[in-house]
Structure 1
Amino acid sequence: MKDDDLNFDKRHIWHPYTSMTHPLPTYPVVSADGYELILTDGRRLIDGMSSWWAAIHGYNHPMINQALHTQINQMSHVMFGGITHPPAIELCRRLISIMPVGLECVFLADSGSVAVEVAIKMALQYWQARGEQRFEILALRQSYHGDTYGAMAVGDPKNSMHDMYQNYLPSNRFLHIPTRRFGENWSKNDALSFSQLFFDHHKKIAAVIMEPIVQGVGGMHFYHPEYLRLIRMLCNQYDILLIADEIATGFGRTGKWLACNHADIIPDILCLGKALTGGMMTLSATLTFRHIAETISQSKAGCFMHGPTFMANPLACAAANASLSLLKDNSWRQCVETIAVHLSSGLAHLSLHPNVKDVRVLGAIGVVEMIQEINISQIQRWFVEHGVWIRPFRNLIYLIPPYIISKEALMILIDTISGALNQPENFIS
């Protein structure tokens, strides 16, 4: 890759959450293998981000590669309206068999944000079909569910990346985030405020949407499973649908197959994405119960009103089937447990650092919350110079490495974070 390419990129290509006038630096990756990203100059970076939660098997996995080679020689894409194909059938059959019992109707889309849009539309169309005027979605403060219109509307309206759009978005209700953290003792007092909200507004609420246990971009909070369990109970009591956004947490990231498993609950609608294909390419799935699908199908519309052009793309389905095959033997569980042990022991001492507010670990997720805001461009440069790829945001440095990462590589990530904390230029005073 030449300097001319990078200059073109800087001038013409809009990267996510980046200014066109003052862009953050970009680093040219020409290949990736295992848990490493290879830059154009040959440097190798240990990946601590799994390409935003997705690449759980690492990069360039031969089994997923072979599945794509086989599929592309047969059919790379075909419309899904009026047509079906073996990769989609196999994937849906697999998902139904490994997800909670009863979630047996599957809608395949092309991104996590779209999976959330689909879930919200399912909930709204379900109540419309039942003749009830329920148009509100109840969500959590400091939540994040994606960047499309409906997904933004259920993200925190004041403390999210979408606050500038709040005057244009549908108005929804929000619950305060739980005060009890994962692993702490539960207090029944934590349930009082949201119990009253359900009582007061349940006739208007179509669904509750939650990131189970882990709030991601909203602040990397890990909340108490009892909170999720009580929300499920209140949804049952007031006949409200529960949507679980497991796009980031699904497929073992928190140490359980689904984060919902920590609370032993089953949602009415489940959103999956990111790691569904092992990070090979984009695909999402929204699963629901048959009675919800049938109620929607028996409405005046006669069908569910959604249909992306690239839904159920055969290549993406083939990648997902290969990824699920890799997860089938449950070896992921030991990998995640091992990562959790090393993250816990390796990051613990950072809680004593004067500029660290908190350190927390759950499964293959490690978070260092700083008191100061991070100088993103500077710390990113520092990480790359020290051979790692870590992308913080706001005041959070976090690790979500591929499950296949070695202990040695993980310790390098941890030690590099430790070193970064002692560089004043990495933070905004």
Structure 2
Amino acid sequence: MMVHPLDPADVQRLDSAHIWHPYAAAGTPALPVESASGVTLALGDGREVIDAMSSWWAVVHGHSHPRLVAAAHRQAETMSHVMFGGLTHRPAVELAQALIEVTDPVLTKVFYSDSGSVAVEVAIKMALQYQRGIGHPERRRLLTWRGGYHGDTFAAMSVCDPEGGMHALWEGTLAQQVFAPAPPARGATPDQITEYVDNMDGLIADDIAALIIEPIVQGAGGMRFHDRALVAAVRELCERKGILFIADEIASGWGRAGKMFATEGLNPDILCVGKALTGGFMTLAATLTTQAVADAIKSPAGGGALMHGPTFMANPLACAVATESVRMLQEGQWRVQVPAIESALLDGLEPLRQREGVADVRVLGAIGVVEMAEPVDMSRTTAAALDHGVWIRPFGRLIYVMPPYICTPEHIATICAAVDAAVGAATKRTENQ
């Protein structure tokens, strides 16, 4: 039977009939996208809109960047995939070298996986096997702070916020971890940081294996920002207590928060990266760790091997594209682009602080957040932004943007106008209730 190309109406109809989208009931309508280039999504209805989400924070270089397309083409002509058990290949080795170059010197071991959530799963396994390897099998739980988000697989869900997050449905099923209060917001005093870390210290019982946090920026748990001094104090606490420090930089890494990585110079024991690792070209993540962690796991008590092995681990296509993306980041253009975006977002969003219904406005790097006093209607606010030529994806009380680094001042001005419209739509709904 000959298969004919679908027109946009067929795409939307068949999608609603058969495809289940994330965080949505089956059958929830979705907008067809016909193509993507630079900062622009071409929708099936003919509209072109700015992707102010970087397609869930990943497309930092813009869509269909010619260097990433070329890297994929070159690799596809040689080898698209080969199993990684017992075999290796040049793209995986080149990417590992690049990752080791851009992260802290203590991180010398690279484990590849398919997604950020799985990178967190791997990090948790590493921590638990490490503690077994050094003679502490009783250390089976993790410490984190409230307001966090680390992914949707089961171990990752167990360290997400248990009440305000998206996984309250699984209470009683997930592993029971230990939660400190939400971290003090950016601008905390030294005394506030000391008091918070002292409280966290009191939560480290004999069964704690590691502490995991999103440094500087809490992502899908609430888009909250905190101070580097707090992260440094938490890292020191882990070292003093003999537990591992896991930095989940899947969202905050690759320049998004103003540094290549939020934990630069703090030497995390385990670092999770993903999202922008491939420039949003395809899925890939990595968990980096130290020689000490690797040696403990290698011991008989530690299990002898890290017990994890995704089928598409170190996919050559993804590794080749990721290597090119990392090289582009190493070239450092983002160091000019991100501060420019930060300044433009501040100029465009800060006036919204005075609007009725707005609880807070905050900007850090290429992240802009308007927090409303009440939960927003996603459909209404998204439609308002689309009418202004911008794609956003609000959630909870947050209307936020994470634009691609290649956005011009004109792009950011359009994004801010769209957020203004979305705030207006959210406020109008509240008034009508």
Give the CA RMSD over aligned residues.
1.4
Aligned partner of 1:119 among 119, 123, 127: 123
Secondary structure of the 1:421 match is helix
Deviations 1:188-218 (A, max 9, x none): 2443354244345342110000000100111
Residues 153 and 409 of structure 1: CA distance in aligned 2, closer, same or farther (over 3 Å) = same
Tell me, yes or no, if the aligned pair for 1:375 and 1:425 is still in contact at 8 Å: no
Structure 1 match to 2:329: 327
Tell me, yes or no, if the aligned pair for 2:145 and 2:213 is still in contact at 8 Å: yes
Task: State the identity as a percent.
Answer: 47
Tell me, yes or no, if the aligned pair for 1:178 and 1:224 is still in contact at 8 Å: no
Alignment partner of 1:203 is 2:206: yes
Aligned-pair distance for 1:220? Answer: 0.5
The 5 A counterparts of 1:151-170 are 151-170=156-175
Tell me, yes or no, if the aligned pair for 1:357 and 1:371 is still in contact at 8 Å: yes
Q: Distance in 1 between matches of 2:199 and 2:393?
A: 39
Q: Distance in 2 between matches of 1:192 and 1:392?
A: 33
- The letter of the residue matching 1:221 is R
Structure 2 match to 1:44: 48
| 269-278 or 36-45: bigger deviation | 36-45
| 416-425 or 159-168: bigger deviation | 416-425
Q: Distance in 2 between matches of 1:94 and 1:86?
A: 12
Structure 2 match to 1:355: 357
Aligned partner of 1:221 among 210, 219, 224: 224
- The letter of the residue matching 1:137 is L
Tell me, yes or no, if the aligned pair for 1:374 and 1:426 is still in contact at 8 Å: no
The 5 A counterparts of 1:8-407 are 8-20=14-26, 23=28, 25-132=29-136, 133-179=138-184, 181-182=185-186, 184-199=187-202, 201-261=204-264, 264-300=265-301, 301-407=303-409
- State the TM-score, normalizing by the size of structure 1: 0.96
Aligned-pair distance for 1:187? Answer: 3.5
- The letter of the residue matching 1:299 is P
Tell me, yes or no, if the aligned pair for 2:11 and 2:32 is still in contact at 8 Å: no
Alignment partner of 1:419 is 2:421: yes
- State the TM-score, normalizing by the size of structure 2: 0.95
Residues 50 and 381 of structure 1: CA distance in aligned 2, closer, same or farther (over 3 Å) = same
Secondary structure of the 1:287 match is strand
Q: Distance in 1 between matches of 2:405 and 2:427?
A: 32
Tell me, yes or no, if the aligned pair for 1:58 and 1:402 is still in contact at 8 Å: yes
Tell me, yes or no, if the aligned pair for 2:385 and 2:421 is still in contact at 8 Å: no
Aligned-pair distance for 1:427? Answer: 3.7
| Aligned positions, number | 423
Tell me, yes or no, if the aligned pair for 1:202 and 1:240 is still in contact at 8 Å: no
| 45-54 or 223-232: bigger deviation | 223-232
Aligned-pair distance for 1:53? Answer: 0.8
Q: Unaligned stretches of 5+ in structure 1? A: none
